[in-house]
Amino acid sequence: MASSNRVDYIEKVCTLQYDELLKENESALNEYADFCSTRQILSIFNFDNKRLHLFGSSMSTKQAEKRFFDLQNEILINNIKQRKIDDVLWWYETWDSTWQQYNLNISSDIEHHYKTNVSSILILNELGERVKIDFQKLEELYGTRIKRIRRSKVDPLQPIHWKLTPMNIERILLEHDSNEYNWVQENFDKKMKGHYTTLTSIERIQNMRLFKQFLILHEEYLHKYGQVNDGTMHYLYHGCPESAAKKIIERGFNRSYCGINGKFLLAHLIDGYSIT
């Protein structure tokens, strides 16, 4: 008789984007192995093929995949902050309109030639294809295939948990079972429970320009009001139509509207979230 508590085990394969950095960071690898072990996940690193194989339950491997994504980001940003590697990344657009990083060696090679002001170069990409990089059109060409490319600079002030992206503004849909989603929902419910019927989604808003503005103001408030309550920082929730939300995400709050709908000053989008 089959057990009703049967767990379906799966294999999840992740790409090692920064394999050289990972190999140099044994403590991070050990920490990740412990993370997987406590969740009954077998993790196997294959540095030759630049792959991480995860074996475990569907839910556990999903958690391990997310943790590995965060770990790679942390290692990359820490190396950039320590000036061990270049802070410029090159990206190409994939078939589903998302952006994928070139590996660090290729990215470094592209950046080297970009700085020489040449119009184009030929390189081997990760697939072993000899492609043309057109710096004037910002395109990768292989036969009749054309991919858009982008250059981005990683800001050392960027929060480690943010997704690396070449876009200036990103809306990242949070997973319902993630710690970040749960933290936002719990904080939201402290003030708003009973005032809404259904919470359908939470997005993390990544706008580095607004985030840096917040850091400057926060430093001033800490100096003025002290460390109590983290410089009198509070989380407020502002209901508005989608059209207004898009403007807030792009530009922050317009303080010229202060007082129109109440005596509150909503100054800046912080590590913002869009809740619907």
User: What pLDDT is attached to residue 7?
Assistant: 61
Per-chain mean pLDDT for the chain: 84
Q: Is the domain of 70 the same as that of 92?
A: no
Number of domains comprising the chain: 3
How far apart, in whole angstroms, are the C-alpha atoms of residue 152 and residue 226?
36
User: DSSP secondary structure string, 63-125?
Assistant: HHHHHHHHHHHHHHHHHHHTTSS-SEEEEEE-TTS-EEEPPHHHHHHHHHHHTTT-SEEEEE-
In a domain, 268, yes or no: yes
Q: Is the domain of 194 the same as that of 112?
A: no
Q: Which of 30, 47, 81 is the last residue of a domain?
A: 81
How far apart, in whole angstroms, are the C-alpha atoms of residue 135 and residue 168?
20
User: What pLDDT is attached to residue 155?
Assistant: 87
- Of residues 228 and 139, more confidence is placed in 139
Q: What is the pTM of this model?
A: 0.74
In a domain, 164, yes or no: no
How far apart, in whole angstroms, are the C-alpha atoms of residue 265 and residue 255?
7
Q: Is the domain of 144 the same as that of 66?
A: no
Q: Is the domain of 256 the same as that of 229?
A: yes
Q: What is the CATH number of the domain that holds 110?
A: 3.30.720.50
Q: Which of 37, 55, 81 is the last residue of a domain?
A: 81
Distances in Å between the alpha carbon of 195 and those of 74, 189, 204, 261? 37, 9, 22, 18
How far apart, in whole angstroms, are the C-alpha atoms of residue 90 and residue 108?
8
Q: Is the domain of 198 the same as that of 270?
A: yes
Query: Is the confidence at residue 265, as pLDDT, over 50?
Result: no
What percentage of residues in the chain have a pLDDT greater than 90?
A: 36
In a domain, 3, yes or no: no
Query: Is the confidence at residue 1, as pLDDT, over 60?
Result: no
CA gyration radius, the chain: 22
Please give the residue range of the domain that contains residue 145.
Answer: 88-153
Q: Is the domain of 239 the same as that of 179?
A: yes
Q: What is the CATH number of the domain that holds 22?
A: 3.30.1370
How far apart, in whole angstroms, are the C-alpha atoms of residue 122 and residue 131?
6
pLDDT in tens, 57-97: 988 998 899 889 888 888 888 888 787 778 899 999 998 88
User: What pLDDT is attached to residue 231?
Assistant: 57
Give the CA angle between residues 139, 124, 148 to the nearest 5°.
15
Q: Is the domain of 127 the same as that of 186?
A: no
In a domain, 22, yes or no: yes
* Contact predicate 35/64, CB 8 Å: yes
Q: Is the domain of 92 the same as that of 70?
A: no
Q: Which of 153, 181, 198 is the last residue of a domain?
A: 153
How confident is the model over 224-250, as a mean pLDDT? 78
In a domain, 136, yes or no: yes
In a domain, 21, yes or no: yes
Q: Is the domain of 120 the same as that of 140?
A: yes
How confident is the model over 48-60, as a mean pLDDT? 90
How confident is the model over 164-180, as a mean pLDDT? 87
User: What pLDDT is attached to residue 229?
Assistant: 63
User: What pLDDT is attached to residue 104?
Assistant: 86
Q: Is the domain of 72 the same as that of 100?
A: no
What are the b/e assignments for 105-125, b being 16+ CB within 10 Å?
ebbebbeeeeeeeeeebeeeb
In a domain, 262, yes or no: yes
pLDDT in tens, 185-211: 998 888 888 888 888 899 999 999 999
- Helix H or strand E segment including 23: helix 19-23
* Contact predicate 19/50, CB 8 Å: yes
Q: Is the domain of 69 the same as that of 133?
A: no
